[in-house]
Amino acid sequence: MNEADRLAETVRTEGTRILASLVRAVGDLQVAQDAVQEASIAALRDWPVKGVPSQPRVWLTVTARHKAIDMLRREGARADKEREAVDLKELSTSDLPPDSVVRDDQLRLIFTCCHPALAPEARVSLALKALCGLSTAQVAAVMLTGEAAMAKRLTRTKEKISKAKIPYRVPETADLPARLTAVCGVVHALYTSGHATFDVDPCAEAVRLGRLLCGLLPDEPMPAAVLALLLLTEARRPSRMDSSGEIVALAEQDRTAWDTALIAEGLTLLEKSLRRTEGVADPYQLQAAIAAEHARAPSYPDTDWPEIVRLYDLLLGVAPSPAARLARAVAVSETRGAAAGLAALEGIDPDPRWHAVRAELLARLGRFPEAVAAVDDSLRGEVAVQERTYRERQRARWATRL
Amino acid sequence: MAQYLALTYTADINWYAPEHEAELTEYRVFGQQHAGSILAAAVLHPTSTATVVRVTGARGGDVVTTDGPYAETKEALTGYYLIEADDLDAAVKIAAEIPAAWGGAVELRPVLKAQ
């Protein structure tokens, strides 16, 4: 990381921290965000010239507070009537709020950004903007939309928060599990969106958010489980593609390339999460447990496939989904053979992935003409380019054995 | 405190028909339990009694009336409550007690504050 990158990273990390407290003091997300953004721009302009101040956090906090006061003043008397909650005392000091207050502020903001009354894509977009500190252009790139459309969506979302009075509050204990499900859903959706852009890695942003959430709620099992799932998946990322960018199947992956530190951290988190859970495991714990089985296995054949089938059965009991049923069918084929796997595919709605799995199983049974037909079916519709290349290569291999 | 209009969307029925008596009682119970938060409420006659009014061009133009609701949907607007609550979370808690929430849906709309 060079000097400019390090500076940008400091401004970004500090900015998200400052934003959370400023939202509380100002009572409005839009004003707080604009103020932090102006302070960040000022920092990135002044610091390389005048040098980084001795206490960057104080500098940014005070600058953002002044900007916020200016904005509120510019809005004039009308704003005062609407905003009963402005804390002018906090805005006019140069004292930093204590860490415990900042933690509460960050939690409040997380629960607001991931409120179930907001549309799921709106939650993910706002989380990227307000909690990860990405620019609107970067959020737009991750969400596969244009910058103007994203700006509009973010404004609409912030308007809904203020007009519908979505509160800045950590939910009561009784509501916490349901609300945490929404928050963890955002973290997980961000990770699986997986559209890396030239300067943003959504997986890294999801891990960042997962770590923040886990740090703020260390005793809650669900954030620990979702972070464990992310880390155990992330640990295997280096070996999922070869040097030419092609997909490497799990069976052929170089397990020495897996990140053992991430695996160890993920396993510890999962264990901690399970210890805190009474009764039925939640979907993230089960998915993390499945990822843990893969991460622990010394080789593909030595994987505990019967245990993985059992975990998928549990997962389908609490969160049935076509993707989980499909993955279960693969695990069944490794436990009881390809024919049993094919039988397990029955009754699942066919999509490209389903056809691809069926093709693999047919090929394993030596039924190459059917395998080729199935892989052709799997190439119809929307298929990621790496997947397409991988399947076409498989098809070519099977076609020689017709 | 904020105000929300809770619009109830349910099957388009005649609420005073004897077969809906039990349902209507549920609404009455809800109304009594949340009397402190309900500022106004109404039950509407079925959409078959609705009239849509439009004025062509600008004010003073021809008044055109048409029979029936503005939009034909499976669930119709059948009533409303004007409720007062601290914030959306509190409003959702109240809305979730309206029988329409499980018989159909409740739409919560924040009411614009008078300037």
User: Residue A87's pLDDT is what?
Assistant: 81
Domain assignment of residue A275, yes or no: no
**A76/A114 same-domain check:** no
Nearest Cα residue to A182 out of A250, A270, A274, A119: A119
Q: How large a percentage of chain A has pLDDT more than 70?
A: 96
Please give the model's pTM, rounded to 2 decimal places.
0.86
| CA distance to B13, B19, B20, B27, B32, per residue, from B16 (Å) | 9, 8, 7, 12, 19
Q: Where residue A233 falls among pLDDT bands split at 50, 70, 90?
A: very high
Q: Which residues from chain B sit within 8 angstroms of residue A166, using beta carbons?
A: 87-89
Q: Which residues from chain B sit within 8 angstroms of residue A174, using beta carbons?
A: none
Listed residues A76, A93, A110: the one ending a domain = A93
User: Residue A340's pLDDT is what?
Assistant: 97
Nearest to A164 among B86, B110, B115 (CB): B110
**A18/A73 same-domain check:** yes
User: Residue A252's pLDDT is what?
Assistant: 92
Q: What H or E segment, with its residue span, contains residue B53?
A: strand B51-55
Digit-coded pLDDT (tens) for B32-64: 999 999 999 999 999 999 999 999 999 999 999
Domain span holding position A387: 321-402
Digit-coded pLDDT (tens) for A281-305: 999 999 999 999 999 999 999 999 9
**A102/A195 same-domain check:** yes
**A4/A62 same-domain check:** yes
Per-residue pLDDT, averaged over A94-100, amounts to: 92
Domain B2-110 CATH assignment equals 3.30.70.1060? yes
**A89/A118 same-domain check:** no
pLDDT above 70 (res A273): yes
Question: Any chain B CB within 8 A of the CB of A149?
Answer: no
Digit-coded pLDDT (tens) for A234-256: 999 889 888 888 888 899 999 99
User: Residue A81's pLDDT is what?
Assistant: 52
d(CA B50, CA A80): 42
Number of compact structural domains in chain A: 3
Here the CATH number for the domain that contains residue A347 is 1.25.40.10
Backbone angles phi, psi at A213, to 5 degrees: -60, -45
Residues 6+ away with beta carbon under 8 Å from B84: B1, B2, B3, B4, B37, B39
DSSP category for residue B46: P
B89 with A78: Cβ contact below 8 A: no
Q: What angle do CA B88, B89, B93 make, to 5 degrees?
A: 110
Cα-Cα-Cα-Cα dihedral of A327, A333, A338, A344, to 10°? -60
Listed residues A93, A111, A138: the one ending a domain = A93
Mean pLDDT of chain A: 91
**A172/A84 same-domain check:** no
Question: Any chain B CB within 8 A of the CB of A182?
Answer: no
Structure tokens at B19: 């077969």
**A87/A104 same-domain check:** no
**A73/A150 same-domain check:** no
Provide the chain B residues 49-88 that lie in CB contact (below 8 A) with chain A.
86-88
Q: Where residue A85 falls among pLDDT bands split at 50, 70, 90?
A: low
Per-residue pLDDT, averaged over A81-107, amounts to: 84
pLDDT above 70 (res A195): no
- Residue A293 in contact with residue A303, Cβ under 8 Å? yes
Q: Which residues from chain B sit within 8 angstroms of residue A163, using beta carbons?
A: 110
B88 with A82: Cβ contact below 8 A: no
Domain assignment of residue A206, yes or no: no
Domain assignment of residue A215, yes or no: no
Listed residues A186, A201, A216: the one ending a domain = A201
- Residue A165 in contact with residue A158, Cβ under 8 Å? no
pLDDT above 80 (res A390): yes
User: Residue A280's pLDDT is what?
Assistant: 84
A117 with B92: Cβ contact below 8 A: yes
> Pick the residue with more confidence: A383 or B59?
B59
Question: Any chain A CB within 8 A of the CB of B96?
Answer: no
User: Where do the structural domains in chain B lie, given as residue ranges?
Assistant: 2-110
Nearest to B88 among A82, A164, A171 (CB): A164
Digit-coded pLDDT (tens) for A138-155: 999 888 889 999 999 999
- Residue A110 in contact with residue A120, Cβ under 8 Å? no
DSSP category for residue B2: E
DSSP category for residue B108: E
User: Residue B69's pLDDT is what?
Assistant: 83
B113 with A164: Cβ contact below 8 A: no
d(CA A205, CA A191): 8
Least confident of A77-81, A192-196, A275-279, B89-93: A77-81
Digit-coded pLDDT (tens) for A339-378: 999 999 999 999 999 999 999 999 999 999 999 999 999 9
User: Residue A328's pLDDT is what?
Assistant: 97
Question: Any chain B CB within 8 A of the CB of A159?
Answer: no
Domain assignment of residue A310, yes or no: no
